[in-house]
Chains A and B, each alone.
Chain A
Amino acid sequence: MAETDSGARAAPPAQRLAAHRVWVTLLTSRLRAQMTYRTSFAVDLLGNLGIALLEFTELWVIFANVKALGGLSFAQTAVVFAFANIAFSLADLVVGHVDTLPRYIRAGTLDAFLLRPASVLGQLITSDVSPKRITRTLGAVAVLVVAVAHLDIEWTPVRVWALITVPVFGTAIFAALFVTAAALQFWLVDGAEVTNAFTYGGAYVASYPASLYQRVVRTFFTFVAPATFTAYLPALVIFGLPGPVGLPAWLGLLTPVMAAVAWAGAVGLWRLGIRHYTGAGS
């Protein structure tokens, strides 16, 4: 097999770049491209702040009429809302573009990814990034700070841990949902919009107390598309409240586990999707 040995051409392993350098290079190149158009970037930042405002107005108008929603006060609901929005907007910032996979397929970009010696999912994720969405995250952080300040919470170590880690694992969960959506689109193609039901729909569900939902909706968004793990369940832990029937509050401690499970599922489905794509052709 001497002829097929690449040793004569490729650099020896010691001289090769470390794997993570590939992704750093790809991501920084995207950021550089985004920053070329400063004015439109500034307007986009403003627009995303507007989206944060829009989402919060809905909640605020409801509480202009009522004192409690699904057993939570305005400040408590605002914490749930803020957790969900921080996690979703960060996930959207990093991987929100992956559910436009059919566009990548049509443009031949996916074939180009397949022809390179790097993970296709990694290339897809780093092929775009939307720093403009950071204002939406910041808006949600502001809501969180104000809401927590209005609440009288006894800060135990577990609660502090939940407050700090939930946005991180929540982001991971929503990112996994986006990747799952992308993987499903290998089969859907023309009906790609269906996946919005559990990506954007998941964000909507996560922003409100899950005690409001009918059992089937609640179960789906807890154990299939685990949106309630990003906000409501860990919030119950922080407030020291029991959950509704079928959703005990201790589930809120399992957010990191759920994030790992969601990613395992997403990556598995993605691999099947790639196999389907290379099998069925484009």
Chain B
Amino acid sequence: MSLALPWPVAWQLIRGGFRRHSAYRAAALAGALTNTVFGAIKASITLGALASAGGRLAGYDAKSAMTYVWLTQALIAPVSLFVWNEVSDRVRSGDIAVDLSRPVNVQLSYLCADLGRAAFEFLPRGLPPLLVGWASTGVHIPARPLVWAAGAAGLVLGVLVSFACRFLMNVTAFWLMEIRGVQTLYLVASNIFCGLLIPVHWFPGWLRTVANATPFPSILQTPVDLISGRYSGAAAAHALLTQSLWLLAMLTAGQVALARGSRVLVVQGG
């Protein structure tokens, strides 16, 4: 098992991931439309809650709450809050042995392909909800270069953390074989704690503590907070550092699990 991934290979894998997904343009547009309709519903519910709370809730006013709603809808696809079982399927079929025999790092190879996927989905699946949101309720993104830079970095880190978590979950297939149940539970936990349905800031104190003890806020809540300019200066740096630490932790865990798992594979003679 190799730990290295040369840059030219990485670049090819990213391009490959991009091209592979660009074949499904109709599907991307259909997904964008669905995300937009859900955005409209979520916007209504959120505005209703704000109205009941007297116009402000946990630091959100109507403008920032709508920015949150439409940004989350735009970023669902790039940060991929869906079921993904490419690697677990290969573990189950034994094809993972082929991946492991290649002289490149397995985890980082899939990571590059996932980056390519996210890069493709960013515009066709992200832009429609943002445009509809901008035209209907307004979306406010501060025009400050530092906010944009932090937002971009946060988004890339969010995509990477999401991948690292999903990869780790897929690798459990070495021991569990059937991971559909794990998938569902992962989906439930990530959807609550990443701030997709309700901002993490609205959670009661204890639930917020639970959420922040997981990598999930780093996937969506933090990128959205950074892009919408909720954090600045030291707070933004702190948010990016938290994301980076979660990324490092999850990638390491995935790497260790893969190494152990491939030993299981050898023992079983797979």
How many angstroms from the CA of A62 to the CA of B49 in the assembled complex? Answer: 7
A43 touches B180 (CB 8 A): yes
Find out whether the CB atom of A196 lies under 8 angstroms from the CB atom of B34.
yes
Chain B residue nearest to A51 in the complex (CB): B188
Q: A61-B207, A69-B49 are in contact. Are A201 and B202 (CB under 8 A)?
A: no
Residues of A within 8 A of B (CB): 37, 39-40, 43-44, 46-48, 50-51, 53-54, 57-58, 61-62, 64-70, 188, 190-194, 196-198, 200-201, 204-205, 208-209, 211-214, 217
In the assembled complex, the CB of B205 is this many whole angstroms from the nearest CB of chain A, namely 10
A191 and B30 form a contact (CB under 8 A): yes
10 smallest CB-CB distances across A and B, nearest first, come from: A43-B181, A47-B184, A191-B30, A190-B26, A66-B52, A212-B48, A193-B30, A197-B37, A50-B188, A194-B30
Main secondary structure of the interface of B (DSSP, over half): helix
Report if B197 contacts A (CB, 8 A): yes
A40 close to B180 (CB less than 8 A): yes
**Counting CB contacts under 8 A, is B58 at the interface?**
yes
Q: Which residue of A lies closest to B200 (CB)?
A: A61
Q: Taking A62-B198, A66-B53 as contacts, is the C-beta distance between A190 and B24 under 8 angstroms?
A: yes
| Given known A40-B181, A66-B53, contact A53–B188 (CB-CB < 8 A) | yes
Nearest CB in chain B to that of A44: its residue: B181
A43 CA to B41 CA, complexed, in Å: 31
Q: Chain B contacts of A70 at CB under 8 A?
A: 48
Chain B residues within CB distance 8 Å of chain A: 24, 26-27, 29-31, 33-34, 37-38, 40-41, 44-45, 47-49, 52-53, 57-58, 178, 180-185, 188, 191-192, 197-198, 202-204, 207
Can you give 13 contacting A-B residue pairs, CB < 8 Å? A47-B180, A47-B181, A50-B185, A53-B188, A57-B197, A61-B204, A65-B58, A66-B57, A190-B30, A191-B30, A192-B27, A212-B47, A213-B41
A65:B49 contact, CB within 8 angstroms: yes
- Per a CB cutoff under 8 Å, which of B26, B27, B45, B53 touches A65? B53
List A contacts of B192 (CB < 8 A).
54, 57-58
A47 touches B27 (CB 8 A): no
- Given contacts A208-B44, A212-B48, 16 further A-B pairs with CB under 8 A are A40-B181, A43-B178, A44-B184, A47-B180, A58-B197, A64-B203, A65-B57, A190-B30, A192-B30, A193-B30, A197-B34, A197-B38, A198-B37, A204-B38, A214-B40, A217-B41
Number of A-B pairs whose CB atoms are under 8 Å?
114
CA distance A200 to B31 in the complex (A): 13
Residues of B within 8 A of A198 (CB): 37
Of the candidates B26, B184, B204, the one whose C-beta lies within 8 Å of that of A50 is B184
Give min CB distance, B121 to chain A, whole Å.
13
Q: Is the CB of A58 within 8 A of B198?
A: yes
Expressed in whole angstroms, the Cα–Cα distance for A66 and B49 within the complex equals 7
Chain B nearest Cβ from A53, distance in angstroms: 7
Instruction: Across the interface, name the chain A residue whose C-beta is closest to B54.
Output: A66
Shortest CB-to-CB span from B151 to chain A, Å, is 25
Chain B residues closer than 8 Å to A40, beta-carbon distance:
178, 180-181
User: Is there an interface contact between A209 and B48, defined as CB atoms closer than 8 Å?
Assistant: yes
Q: Within the complex, which residue of B27, B180, B184 is in contact with A51, where a contact is CB–CB below 8 Å?
A: B184
Cβ contact within 8 Å between B202 and A191: no
In the complex formed, the residue of B with least CB distance to A37 is B178
Residue from B37, B178, B197 with most neighbouring chain A CB atoms (10 Å): B37
Tell me, in angstroms, the Cα distance from A39 to B182 when the chains sit together: 13
